[in-house]
A and B are shown apart, each in its own frame.
Chain A
Amino acid sequence: MKGNEPASFPEGESFVGPTLTIPRTKDGIPARLVTLFGSLGSHGEKRVHYIFDVGRPAYSEIVLPADGPIRSISTQAPAAAWNERELHDQYGIEILGHPDPRPLIFHENWPDGVYPMVDQMDDVVWARRDYRFLQVQGEGIAEVAVGPVHAGVIEPGHFRFSVVGDTILHLELRHFYTHKGTEKLFERRSAVDGVMLAESVSGDNCFAHSVCYCQAVEDACGTEVPPRASAVRLIGLEFERLVCHISDVGGLCTDVGFSVAAAYATRLKEFLLRASSVCCGTRYWRGVAVPGGLKFDIESAKVAELVQAIRRASIDFSEIARMIVETPSIQNRFETAGVLSKEAAQDLAVVGPVARASGIDLDVRRDHPYGGYDKCQIDVPVTSYGDVMARARIRIAEAVASAQLIQEVAKSLPDGDVFDPVASQGNIQGFSAVESPRGELCYWIQASDGRLTCCHIKSPSFQNWPAMPLAVAGNIIADFPLINKSFNLSYSGCDR
């Protein structure tokens, strides 16, 4: 997909801001908002990019000029709400008619009127701004504040519960504690070196991030990745999904005190990570992908060893998974907990296993194939219950399917080179989407003579976090950790 030229203002009319009409799919329903972000043109002019999923195979991008205010689309597409707040915080673009114009990514310590994507970032002063949480009032309503530092080995974030007794009426999220200004750090880096930063966006999904970034650069440069590199990347991506899902299902068991299954899952995960370390010298596939292919070739014999380990782990995992879903006390805790309705999931354009557990049939691997996925049969499990059990079942099914996919691809691993250098001359733009373990992940990059000038990351966690409070409402506060775990969202991936 290539960017369209920014639309120009109609002349002679009084300025009311450029207006976006949300595109529709073939079936006439409003298209799903994939992401929304800002960028700067070659003369420093501000633009807003809207990316929609209008159906297979391509995404559709609309670019509007944004040197003045723009009109919010959050009331028509609630999924845009956080994106628009982020757009304002990064670029200082005024969003007219936004239902919640509070700052998002910067907290009380950030001064008003300083926008990292357009201003100089030397010595930003420490400010003391106000931040107002939503007030829920009424008889017997109490507020419970949790975080940013949580009780466990977890990332930081703040949760503000309004409860009546044990029951949660409302949950307000406050995130971006791990905001590291990552998108800004891409600027001026060479297009080849950007991959190091992409690997540090969300550590447990680092291979999905690195491949997605590489594909965006390859898209911009028009490079075809050699088939062997493509196949090894596919194995890596599915390996990451398998490891993540095993870990998530184990984590759910930890949260309900089912230690046997939890310990077994951590054991399987470690078994796989150690096999990966032997195969390619890295446990999480860091430093493997590079724009143009792979940094080094992995011997077919070593790949075969890894595949053997995956086969074994997958058999063991199926056994544990069966034990989990068939244990009555687990069913009791998992079923009907944290239901996310299909309507809510659609409104917030939720992606990944969470969407599929709420009845949304969506998978980038099948809908917008990349790498070697067009040659693969991708079965997408979908269920409509939307509860913790549904999300667990989706992950179990996907983990087993990933293991099978790896074995199939490994059977006919192509020979040949694994790297074809990318030539990134001139002004280029590229876009790529990958189905990460958490769902649709996108990178949009712009480069000038091999140096990045802009990079946007659409992380599935950023998209899915706003849906979590909706699933939590009406449940008891003691079930919150379980529901949160069943979403398994990355804080760092969201905050970037």
Chain B
Amino acid sequence: MIGDVIGQSLRERSPLVPVEALLGNCDGSRMPEIVADRLTQAIAQRLVQVCPTAALGLEEYEGHHCLRLSYGNCIGCGKCLEAGEGAAVVAKQFTSCGVAKEQTVRRWNIDHRIEVKTGALGPQEAQGKIHSLLQRALNVRQLDAGSCNGCEAEITALTNPYYDLERFGIHFVASPKHADMLLVTGPVTRNMAEAVKATYEAVPAPKLVVAVGACGCSGGIFAGSHAIVGAVDQVIPVDGYIPGCPPTPAMLVAGILEVLRRRIAK
């Protein structure tokens, strides 16, 4: 009977998603973005008001009046989509995975109705760099610092036949002592703070730390709770951030590869 199942699965087309289709993909993540030419002062103010996690804010940036969207705070609740009269839409592409904290932020100039450009790589640029990452291995240890298990569910999906993280030479390992990278999810709770520090210490140097999900990046919906310490970077140093609530497997793959690419480019 096992023979039948294997036989059938060999006859079917492989579900493996090519890496080109993963970079920049954020289908199902509910991450928003701003349509610059629909933006007005009044709409921007309303968007900021409805945002429950302060992902949206108004600020002066390089002398301009800007609407800031910090993806690390965004839980994809969709309130801005409802209130924005078309100025906020579901993002079709997402490139802020695995980047430094500053690059998880996008800004739109409200007066000129344009996006303020940052240095983040677009998916096409990133694709060209991916090949330099082949022929390497990376051992990843996932650490739950207090997550709701949404991020865990998506991280588990990375090993399924659609994403098959092992094709990039990336493995999940059982001990922090075997790891090159810590993938940390959740707001760090009071009860986990000590264990998070100990796990970080147990990873041999050089090490990479990636904060995953809105909670890991900023505390997310739990920010301000008496029972949490806060975002991952309040407890251990973080090299890259993968926003999302939860980030989709595509965003996780893109994020892990981007952290690796940045490390090698250093």
Contact = CB atoms under 8 A, between A and B. Distances in A.
To the question of whether A and B form a pair in one complex, the answer is yes
A1 B265 CA distance: 62
A269 B187 CA distance: 27
B220 A200 contact: yes
A421 to B, nearest CB: 13
Given A153-B156, A156-B144, A176-B191, A267 B162 contact: yes
Given A273-B157, A277-B28, A287-B30, A107 B190 contact: yes
A326 interface: yes
B75 interface: yes
Interface stretch (A258-266, A364-372, A426-434): A258-266
B142 A153 contact: yes
Given A155-B147, A181-B228, A202-B148, A282 B28 contact: yes
B76 interface: yes
Contacts of A282: 28, 30
> Which residue of B2, B225, B228 has the most chain A CB atoms within 10 A of its CB atom?
B225
Interface stretch (A3-11, A39-47, A69-77, A315-323): A315-323
20 contacts: A109-B190, A153-B152, A155-B147, A156-B146, A177-B189, A178-B186, A179-B190, A180-B189, A180-B225, A180-B228, A181-B226, A181-B227, A181-B228, A200-B150, A200-B215, A200-B220, A200-B245, A203-B147, A277-B28, A323-B5
Nearest to B160: A266
Contacts of A319: 5
A116 B190 CA distance: 14
Contacts of B1: 322-323, 326-327
Nearest to A195: B77
B57 interface: no
Nearest to B143: A149
Interface residues of A, number: 64
Ordered nearest first, which 7 A-B pairs have the shortest CB separation? A203-B150, A277-B28, A181-B227, A151-B174, A121-B226, A266-B160, A203-B148
Interface of A: 106-107, 109-110, 116, 121, 124, 148-149, 151-156, 176-182, 184-185, 193, 196-197, 200-204, 206, 260-261, 263-264, 266-267, 269-271, 273-274, 276-278, 281-284, 286-287, 295, 319-320, 322-323, 326-327, 490-493
A178 B145 CA distance: 7
B192 A178 contact: yes
A76 B105 CA distance: 56
A124 B163 CA distance: 43
Nearest to B198: A149
A287 B28 contact: no
B260 interface: no
Interface string B229-264: 000000000000000011011000000000000000
A313 B78 CA distance: 30
B222 to A, nearest CB: 5
